[in-house]
């Protein structure tokens, strides 16, 4: 099947997806979970093929990401069951007014329609994205990376078997077979067929989608996150927060990349911070003023504009909250930033001034996550301001329409 | 000033715009209104220049759209005062939760930032768009058409005089001097500088923006709107609604372009409809089945996919609500559609099945409008599902951010 045929099939399934009741969706999700477990042998055999093929070209750490096991398949199934437990956002009445002319205008939450996801991540994204799309009444078009194509094909076959056996159209969940750049381009340009495109993966993929998409697209994930340690910071908390934001999982987008420190506390704070981070062998890239206080690598020109995703932290001394806010405005990707301070006015100025999806007072940037925000799940984290911003749960995969009831009104 | 310099200035003004209190914004809007009236002579003189230059190249009807008068300047000023009266959406707390770990997560409405508007309409859009952007805490970058450049320059000079005299940065309101295609392209590609791009104008402009934009963009305005007259329609209401939707203002996007009629009522309804529409000399483009009932032009291949914006109506006979919904899915631009019926089940099926911004039961599509929806104003009508959908008032020009208060929480 060509990608174009697949997209036509996806479009044709939109009304069926939107019409599913909450109960039907949950039944399908539970059946899909069971089907993954039942097809575990097929999935693991397909995954073996991918892993074998990848050995020649991919680093061992990536092989581990690609590899599935019985436990990982069980975890995918558990993920589907968790989505079944979440509330269904579709049909919520967001507002209702009666106009002087008698028209009743209701704003009702509806699915987006066809959501295309281009990803290069682990095969579990396949099941995860399919579940979130289905629960929010959407049809999904999944376009994974070529290194996982056998695994993804087997996973989608298992999901579709459950749909089929439960009388739902298989085309609710679609996997693009072509994993060349051509199919990604087709999705980006599929005006009238794709209602929303979500790229999930590295900065290069996301940039390519945002720049080339002719369909509505959400920019996700890149995070140059800052923690600003204010002059009025509780330094114990500051050390703990910076340590956590940098080292608890450096490879993720909500990890800290830059620490800004107020000049008044830098001489006390930086030695304490260095001592803590030395434990994890974090490399410090220091502005000249910080370098005069603690040892480290001098920061280069790009170090304040780099998502290291590693045990590396850029450090800069600033003279005020305003200077911190200005630095963030110039260098942040709009993901997550934190201030550590006991001063209410400083916290308020930071929260008002910083234009990022999530702004923290005295907490780690690592909390920017659908689960931690109480959304129960996550399709990604939006760093743009049109549409969803921050963690995208089920509601963030919906739109709305106006339904207007009249009795013959004309204008 | 180059467009790039102008965009840098706009970006630098974002925090000032976001920080304005409601009171300050209203004071500025009233001063801007007064300033338009005070500068009326300059504005009319500049407009004369535009009108003189346009005489050679532009049709008389377009000249009328371009021309300003004392009354029209007064109306622009009144428009600014009306925006001052609207509630300020910025700072609204959209939700607040406390997590088990003690984090308090508030979702707060914030401005988009820099909104660029590319338009080819009348010069009053300049004042109108500036007012809506300012009230919603945004900086605007206005890029009007070359035929109105002197008028737009004079209007922005008057608005900026009011900003200056009231101690606000002039760069809250920016007019792009370059009216060549190059400046439009620059706005479309201004990643990191433009937070939202809104095209207002003809289908060609909108398509160019949506296809080429690398910044978040909202597709607006194109409307192939349908009215479906069901077998259970009250035919008096049906005639009145189709007549109104087609003829009250055919040049606007919420006007009807296609009438679908159920086979059971077509023999009675179509002659009555024709009689009513003859009064306005509406040309009917008929499917073969309709043509067997009333005289008219045979519908050509493109007639069900054309935004006529004129006294032309395409008519098609269908056999069921489902067929009407399917026709709309295949041909609509997702703007506004209506069903005329006394049958609740048919109305519900239509509302559930039609995937457009506004779906009407027994009312004219002409109501899709910010004012008619109670928003008080309108920046345009979105026909996409990411971000705002339908009429865009002040709320629809905002985004949100999460502000998370902790006490040292780490993950």
Q: Where are the domains of chain B?
A: 3-213+392-405, 225-367
Instruction: Say whether residue B407 is in contact with chain A using an 8 A CB cutoff.
Output: yes
Which residue from B353, B360, B386 is facing A216, i.e. has the nearest CB?
Answer: B386
In whole angstroms, give the CA distance from residue B112 to residue A386. 8
In whole angstroms, give the CA distance from residue A319 to residue A262. 6
> Mean pLDDT, chain A, as a whole number?
96
Which residue from B237, B245, B374 is facing A408, i.e. has the nearest CB?
Answer: B237
| pLDDT the model gives residue B93 | 97
C-alpha distances in Å from residue B202, one per residue of A214, A260, B127, B249, B332: 18, 48, 20, 16, 17
pLDDT digits (tens, 9 = 90+) for B96-150: 999 999 999 999 999 999 999 999 868 989 999 999 999 999 999 999 999 999 9
- Return the ∠ at Cα A269 (arms to A250 and B104), rounded to 5°: 60
Return residues 310-329 of A near B (CB < 8 Å). Answer: 325, 329
Examine the pLDDT at B287 and tell me if it is beyond 80: yes
Which residue from A113, A248, A399 is facing B411, i.e. has the nearest CB?
Answer: A248
Examine the pLDDT at B202 and tell me if it is beyond 90: no
Instruction: Say whether residue B113 is in contact with chain A using an 8 A CB cutoff.
Output: yes
**CB–CB of B69/B44 below 8 Å?**
yes
Picking from A399, A400, A407 by the largest number of B CB atoms within 10 A of its own CB, the best residue to mutate is: A399
Q: How many other C-beta atoms lie within 10 A of the C-beta of residue A297?
A: 13
Instruction: Say whether residue A214 is in contact with chain B using an 8 A CB cutoff.
Output: yes
C-alpha distances in Å from residue B219, one per residue of A40, A399, B175: 44, 15, 22
Instruction: Show the 3-state SS of chain B.
Output: CCHHHHHHHHHHHHHHHHHCCHHHHHHHHHHHHHHHHHCHHHHHHHHHHHHHHHHCCCCHHHHHHHCCCHHHHHHHHHHHHHHHHCCCCCCCEEEEEECCCCCEEEEEEEECCEEEEEECCCCHHHHHHHHHHHHCCCEEEEECCHHHHHHHHHHHHHHHHHHHHCCCCHHHEEECCCCCHHHHHHHHCCCCCCCEEEEECCHHHHHHHHHHCCCCECCECCCCEEEEECCCCCHHHHHHHHHHHHHCCCCCCCCEEEEEEECCCHHHHHHHHHHHHHCCCCEEEECHHHHCCCCCEECCCCHHHCCCCCCEEEEEEECCHHHHHHHHHHHCCCCEEEEECCCHHHHHHHHHHCCCCEEEEEECHHHCCCCCCCCCCCCCEECCCCCCCEECCCHHHEEEEEEEEEEEECC
In whole angstroms, give the CA distance from residue B284 to residue A363. 66
Q: State percent of chain B over pLDDT 90.
A: 92
Q: A220-224, B254-258, B266-270 — which is least confidently predicted?
A: A220-224
Instruction: Say whether residue B161 is in contact with chain A using an 8 A CB cutoff.
Output: no
* A3/chain B closest Cα distance in angstroms: 19
Q: Chain B residues with CB inside 8 Å of A361's CB?
A: 403-406
| pLDDT the model gives residue A61 | 74
Q: Chain B residues with CB inside 8 Å of A404's CB?
A: 358-361, 363, 367
Return residues 336-375 of B near A (CB < 8 Å). Answer: 351-353, 355-364, 366-368, 372-374
Q: What's the pLDDT band for A65 if we cut at 50, 70, 90?
A: confident
Instruction: Say whether residue A382 is in contact with chain B using an 8 A CB cutoff.
Output: no
In whole angstroms, give the CA distance from residue A251 to residue A203. 13
| pLDDT the model gives residue B221 | 80
| pLDDT the model gives residue B260 | 98
Inter-chain contacts counted by CB atoms under 8 A, chains A and B: 206
Beta bridge partners of B107: B95, B402
Examine the pLDDT at A64 and tell me if it is beyond 90: no
Answer yes or no: do A216 and B18 touch at CB < 8 A.
no
Chain A residue with Cα closest to B216 = A386
In whole angstroms, give the CA distance from residue A253 to residue B336. 40
Instruction: Say whether residue B164 is in contact with chain A using an 8 A CB cutoff.
Output: no
Answer yes or no: do A191 and B210 touch at CB < 8 A.
yes
Instruction: Say whether residue A403 is in contact with chain B using an 8 A CB cutoff.
Output: yes
Instruction: Say whether residue A399 is in contact with chain B using an 8 A CB cutoff.
Output: yes
Mean of pLDDT values over A320-346: 97
* A358/chain B closest Cα distance in angstroms: 5
Instruction: Say whether residue B405 is in contact with chain A using an 8 A CB cutoff.
Output: yes
Instruction: Say whether residue A196 is in contact with chain B using an 8 A CB cutoff.
Output: yes
- Return the ∠ at Cα A48 (arms to A46 and A52), rounded to 5°: 125
Answer yes or no: do B367 and A211 touch at CB < 8 A.
no
Which residue from A99, A191, A386 is facing B387, i.e. has the nearest CB?
Answer: A386
How many angstroms from the chain centroid is the CA of residue A294?
Answer: 36
Picking from B188, B227, B248, B386 by the largest number of A CB atoms within 10 A of its own CB, the best residue to mutate is: B386
Give the strand order in the sheet containing A256-262.
A297-298, A283-286, A312-318, A256-262, A225-229, A336-340, A358-363, B398-409, B104-111, B93-98
Give the architecture (CATH level 2) of B3-213+392-405: 3-Layer(aba) Sandwich (3.40)
Give the strand order in the sheet containing B336-340.
A93-98, A104-111, A398-409, B358-363, B336-340, B225-229, B256-262, B312-318, B283-286, B297-298
Picking from B21, B138, B355, B391 by the largest number of A CB atoms within 10 A of its own CB, the best residue to mutate is: B355
Q: Chain A residues with CB inside 8 Å of B358's CB?
A: 401-402, 404
Return residues 31-90 of B near A (CB < 8 Å). Answer: none
Mean of pLDDT values over B304-315: 96
Return residues 249-288 of A near B (CB < 8 Å). Answer: none
Instruction: Say whether residue B24 is in contact with chain A using an 8 A CB cutoff.
Output: no
**CB–CB of B173/B134 below 8 Å?**
yes
Reduced to 3 states (helix: H, G, I; strand: E, B; else coil), residue A126 is helix
E strands, A62-165, where? 93-98, 104-111, 114-119, 139-143
Beta bridge partners of B363: A409
Q: What's the pLDDT band for A37 if we cut at 50, 70, 90?
A: very high
In whole angstroms, give the CA distance from residue B272 to residue B292. 15
Instruction: Say whether residue B244 is in contact with chain A using an 8 A CB cutoff.
Output: yes
| pLDDT the model gives residue A44 | 98
Chain A residue with Cα closest to B235 = A408
CB-based burial label for B77 (10 Å; 0-12, 13-18, 19+): buried
In whole angstroms, give the CA distance from residue B128 to residue B115. 13
| pLDDT the model gives residue A23 | 98
Instruction: Say whether residue A386 is in contact with chain B using an 8 A CB cutoff.
Output: yes
CB-based burial label for B386 (10 Å; 0-12, 13-18, 19+): buried
pLDDT digits (tens, 9 = 90+) for A132-167: 999 999 999 999 999 999 999 999 999 999 999 999
DSSP 8-state class, residue A88: P
Instruction: Say whether residue B399 is in contact with chain A using an 8 A CB cutoff.
Output: yes
**CB–CB of A293/A261 below 8 Å?**
no
Q: Chain A residues with CB inside 8 Å of B18's CB?
A: 352, 355
| pLDDT the model gives residue A80 | 96
**CB–CB of B96/B106 below 8 Å?**
yes
| pLDDT the model gives residue A352 | 95
A3-218+392-405: which CATH topology? Aldehyde Dehydrogenase; Chain A, domain 1 (3.40.605)
Chain B residue with Cα closest to A114 = B385
Q: Chain A residues with CB inside 8 Å of B390's CB?
A: 401-402
Examine the pLDDT at B57 and tell me if it is beyond 90: no
Q: A59-63, B27-31, B192-196, B221-225 — which is least confidently predicted?
A: A59-63
Which residue from B210, B366, B411 is facing A244, i.e. has the nearest CB?
Answer: B411
**CB–CB of A405/B362 below 8 Å?**
yes
Residue whose tokens read 């590899």? A67
Q: Read out DSSP for A307-321?
A: ---SSEEEEEEESSH
CB-based burial label for A240 (10 Å; 0-12, 13-18, 19+): middle
In whole angstroms, give the CA distance from residue A346 to residue A262. 12
* A54/chain B closest Cα distance in angstroms: 33
* B196/chain A closest Cα distance in angstroms: 7
Examine the pLDDT at B172 and tell me if it is beyond 80: yes
Answer yes or no: do A387 and B389 touch at CB < 8 A.
no
DSSP 8-state class, residue A99: -
Q: Chain A residues with CB inside 8 Å of B386's CB?
A: 112, 195-196, 216-218, 386-387, 399
Answer yes or no: do A384 and B409 touch at CB < 8 A.
no
Q: What's the pLDDT band for B328 if we cut at 50, 70, 90?
A: very high
* A149/chain B closest Cα distance in angstroms: 29
Q: Which CATH number fits domain A225-367: 3.40.309.10, 3.40.50.1370, 3.40.140.10, 1.10.150.570?
A: 3.40.309.10
Mean of pLDDT values over A96-109: 97
| pLDDT the model gives residue B80 | 96
| pLDDT the model gives residue A63 | 87
**CB–CB of B364/B347 below 8 Å?**
no
Examine the pLDDT at A121 and tell me if it is beyond 80: no
Strand A336-340 to A225-229 pairing: parallel
Chain A residue with Cα closest to B348 = A403
| Phi, psi at A343, each rounded to 5° | -100, 110
Chain B residue with Cα closest to A367 = B411
Chain A residue with Cα closest to B188 = A211
Give the ipTM of the model, two decimals please. Answer: 0.95
Answer yes or no: do A402 and B18 touch at CB < 8 A.
no
Instruction: Say whether residue A185 is in contact with chain B using an 8 A CB cutoff.
Output: no
| pLDDT the model gives residue B59 | 79
In whole angstroms, give the CA distance from residue A147 to residue A169. 28
Q: Chain B residues with CB inside 8 Å of A348's CB?
A: none
């Amino acid at each position: 099947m060509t990608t174009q045929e697949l997209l036509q099939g996806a479009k044709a399934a939109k009304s069926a997806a939107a019409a599913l009741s909450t109960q039907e969706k949950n039944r399908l999700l539970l059946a899909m979970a069971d089907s993954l477990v039942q097809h575990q042998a097929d999935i693991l055999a397909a995954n073996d093929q991918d892993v074998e093929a990848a050995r020649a070209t991919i680093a061992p750490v990536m092989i581990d990401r690609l590899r599935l096991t019985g436990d990982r398949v069980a975890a995918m199934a558990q993920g589907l069951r968790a989505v079944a437990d979440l509330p269904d956002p579709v049909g919520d009445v967001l507002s209702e007014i009666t106009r002087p002319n008698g028209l009743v205008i209701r704003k009702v939450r509806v699915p987006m329609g066809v959501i295309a996801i281009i990803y290069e991540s682990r095969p579990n994204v396949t099941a995860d994205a399919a579940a979130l799309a289905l629960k929010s009444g959407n049809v999904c078009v999944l376009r994974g990376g070529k290194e996982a194509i056998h695994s993804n094909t087997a996973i989608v076959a298992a999901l579709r078997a459950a749909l089929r056996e439960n009388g739902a159209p298989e085309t609710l969940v679609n996997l693009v077979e072509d994993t060349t750049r051509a199919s990604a381009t087709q999705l980006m340009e599929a005006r009238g067929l794709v209602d929303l495109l979500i790229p999930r993966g590295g900065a290069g993929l996301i940039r390519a989608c945002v720049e080339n998409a002719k369909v509505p697209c959400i920019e996700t994930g890149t995070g140059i996150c800052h923690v600003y340690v204010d002059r009025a910071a509780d330094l114990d908390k500051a050390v703990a927060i910076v340590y956590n934001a940098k080292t608890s999982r450096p490879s993720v987008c909500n990890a800290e990349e830059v620490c800004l420190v107020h000049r008044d506390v830098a001489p006390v704070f930086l030695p304490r911070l260095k001592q803590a981070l030395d434990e994890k062998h974090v490399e410090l890239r220091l502005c000249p003023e910080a370098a005069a206080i603690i040892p480290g690598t001098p920061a280069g020109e790009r170090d304040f504009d780099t998502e290291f995703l590693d045990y590396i932290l850029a450090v800069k001394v600033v003279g005020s909250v305003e200077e911190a806010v200005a630095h963030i405005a110039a260098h942040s990707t709009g993901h997550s930033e934190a201030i550590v301070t006991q001063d209410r006015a400083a916290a308020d100025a930071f929260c008002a001034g910083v234009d990022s999806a999530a702004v923290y007072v005295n907490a780690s940037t690592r909390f920017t996550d659908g689960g931690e925000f109480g959304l129960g799940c996550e399709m990604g984290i939006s760093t743009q301001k049109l549409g969803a911003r921050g963690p995208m749960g089920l509601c963030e995969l919906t739109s709305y329409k106006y339904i207007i009831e009249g009795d013959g009104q004309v204008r």
